[in-house]
């Protein structure tokens, strides 16, 4: 049994790709002889859960979804928990990185990190008052230093591997995407979802699920929705998720007269409501240009939902085989034409749906967990060999 300490500045109930990745791997790794202990922030009154250590955090006035963990408490917990683990796996670049690295070195444990977020393209959305070029340079510098401080780096896509290599990262990197629990998305009740949200049973419906954040390029999808509404008055775009861009996007929908076309349904509970939402749609749409992977594309495909998306950064690995997906041009008219082609052809939708399910199965959580468990074993063997060589010297 390998005992791994994961440490992160975010986790459920904070919903994002990092939280989903951690939870997916934790659940799947046990089948491969890996026991995961997690250190993560406390957001409120979460119930105690086996294997999870919660660290008190402060609310951020400009970002109420996240918590600023108490660095001293996280360092103390990491030092304590790392003593009983074989390996440390850092998931985020803030207090978790400092605490995880310090604990790993104090106990002579190998340390990995997963590079989840393309910070070079994210920071200027949240600090628009600072020069974008300076923020990008800072993100590159910090990312390079943090990646080069650990023993191995996990990246979720080929594009992210190439970008970090361009930064000057020389630590060994492993391309290892987050897997999808495909069984969780296979049997949603789409008709129930449509009735619940007053969407006509036969209305053509496109779906976006994910963070409602500025970097997700959701404004682009609103332009696509306006074009499709002009051709198909009953067309509906459902936007599921929460995030800081929601108020401005909702105001834009009202201003542009799209209130009957664009529906914001907020956060959806993952066990039942989320699979129902996927099952209700005819096509999944995604326009982000900064994803490190694009996990929601795989969730949609696992549900048998054709995908129309921009091929940019991490989504390219998923889209390039063109199995259950259509890559759209990076302009609203071209994107809308691809969506319309899928909506207009029931036979094509069924072909894409079948191909999507098969493709998603190759990215299943068990497949990826097996690869991560193998990486842990290789890292431990390498660490043991280095230690033995150092002792003999």
Better-scored residue on pLDDT, 230 or 128: 230
Position 389 confidence tier, pLDDT thresholds 50, 70, 90? confident
Q: Are residues 29 and 104 in the same domain?
A: yes
Q: Residue 128: is its pLDDT beyond 70? A: no
* 353-367: average pLDDT: 97
pLDDT at residue number 60: 82
Q: Which one-letter DSSP state was computed for residue 214?
A: G
The number of distinct structural domains making up the chain is 2
Same domain, 216 and 344: yes
Residues 95, 234, single domain; the answer is no
Q: How confident is the model at residue 13 (pLDDT cuts 50, 70, 90)?
A: very high
Same domain, 300 and 154: no
Per-residue pLDDT reduced to its tens digit, 137-155: 999 999 999 999 999 999 9
Question: What span, in angstroms and rounded, lies between the C-alpha atoms of 240 and 263?
Answer: 8
pLDDT band for position 37 (cuts 50, 70, 90): very high
CATH code (residue 141): 3.40.50.2000
Give percent of the chain with pLDDT exceeding 70.
97
pLDDT at 119: 85
* 125: confidence class by pLDDT, cuts 50, 70, 90: low
pLDDT of residue 393 exceeding 70: no
Report whether pLDDT(121) > 80.
Answer: no
73 and 201: one domain?
no
- pLDDT band of residue 98 (cuts 50, 70, 90) is very high
* Residues sharing a CB contact under 8 Å with residue 228, sequence separation 6 or more, in sequence order: 204, 206, 235, 237, 336, 339, 340, 343
Per DSSP bridges, beta strands 283-286 and 205-209 are parallel
Report the distance separating Cα 348 and Cα 133, nearest Å.
44
Helix (H) or strand (E) holding 308: strand 307-309
Taking only the tens place, the pLDDT of each residue in 232-252 is 999 999 999 999 999 999 999
| pLDDT more than 90, % of the chain | 87
* Same domain assignment for residues 63 and 195: no
Helix pair angle (346-361, 295-302), 10° resolution: 120
Q: Are residues 301 and 186 part of one domain?
A: yes
Whether 13 and 122 map to the same domain: the answer is yes
In this structure, of 109-123, 171-185, 220-234, the range with the lowest mean pLDDT score is 109-123
Q: What pLDDT is stored for residue 237 in this prediction?
A: 98
Range of 219's domain? 182-361
182 neighbors 361 (Cβ within 8 angstroms): yes
pLDDT in tens, 321-347: 999 999 999 999 999 999 999 999 999
Residue 175 sits in the same domain as residue 189 = no
Residues 311 and 344 in one domain: yes
* Residues 47 and 160 both lie in one domain: yes
**Listed residue (87, 116, 153, 154) closest to 19, CA to CA:** 116
Cα separation of 143 and 139, whole Å?
6
Asked if pLDDT for residue 178 goes beyond 60, the answer is yes
Are 136 and 177 in contact by the 8 Å Cβ rule? The answer is: no
Mean pLDDT rounded to a whole number for the chain? 94
Residue 161 clears pLDDT 70, i.e. is over it: yes
Q: What is the mean pLDDT of residues 292-307?
A: 96
pLDDT band at 309 (very low <50, low <70, confident <90, very high): very high
Handedness of CA 269, 295, 11, 128 (dihedral sign): negative
Q: Do 253 and 158 belong to one domain?
A: no
Three-state secondary-structure class, residue 89? strand
pLDDT at 392 over 80: no
| DSSP 8-state symbol, 364 | B
């Amino acid at each position: 049994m390998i005992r791994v300490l994961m440490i992160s500045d975010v986790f459920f109930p904070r919903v994002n790709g990092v939280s989903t990745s951690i939870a997916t791997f934790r659940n799947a790794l046990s089948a491969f002889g890996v026991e995961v202990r997690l250190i993560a922030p406390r957001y409120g009154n979460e119930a105690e859960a086996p294997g999870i250590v919660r660290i008190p955090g402060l609310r951020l006035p400009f970002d109420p979804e996240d918590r600023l963990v108490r660095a001293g408490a996280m360092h103390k917990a990491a030092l304590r928990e790392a003593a009983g683990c074989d390996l440390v796996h850092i998931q985020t670049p803030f207090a978790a990185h400092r605490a995880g690295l310090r604990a790993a070195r104090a106990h002579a444990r190998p340390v990995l990190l997963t590079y989840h977020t393309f910070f070079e393209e994210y920071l200027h959305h949240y600090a628009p008052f600072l020069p974008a070029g300076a923020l990008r340079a800072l993100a590159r510098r910090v990312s390079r230093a943090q990646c080069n401080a650990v023993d191995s780096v996990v990246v979720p896509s080929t594009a992210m591997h190439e970008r970090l290599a361009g930064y000057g990262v020389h630590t060994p990197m492993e391309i290892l995407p987050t897997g999808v629990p495909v069984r969780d998305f296979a049997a949603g009740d789409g008709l129930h979802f449509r009735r619940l949200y007053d969407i006509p049973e036969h209305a053509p419906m496109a779906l976006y699920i994910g963070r409602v954040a500025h970097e997700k390029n959701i404004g682009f999808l609103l332009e696509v929705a306006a074009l499709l509404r002009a051709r198909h008055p009953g067309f509906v775009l459902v936007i599921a998720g929460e995030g800081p861009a929601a108020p401005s996007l909702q105001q834009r929908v009202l201003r542009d007269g799209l209130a009957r076309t664009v529906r914001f349904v907020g956060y959806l509970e993952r066990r039942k409501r989320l699979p129902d939402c996927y099952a209700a749609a005819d096509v999944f749409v995604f326009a982000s240009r900064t994803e490190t992977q694009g996990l929601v594309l795989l969730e949609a495909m696992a549900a048998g939902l054709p995908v129309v998306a921009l091929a940019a950064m991490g989504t390219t690995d998923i889209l390039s085989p063109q199995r259950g997906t259509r890559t759209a041009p990076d302009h609203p008219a071209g994107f809308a034409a691809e969506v319309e082609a899928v909506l207009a052809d029931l036979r094509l939708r069924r072909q894409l749906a079948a191909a999507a399910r098969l493709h998603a199965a190759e990215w299943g959580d068990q497949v990826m967990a097996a690869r991560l468990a193998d990486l842990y074993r290789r890292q431990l063997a390498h660490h043991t060999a280095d230690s033995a060589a150092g002792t003999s010297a």
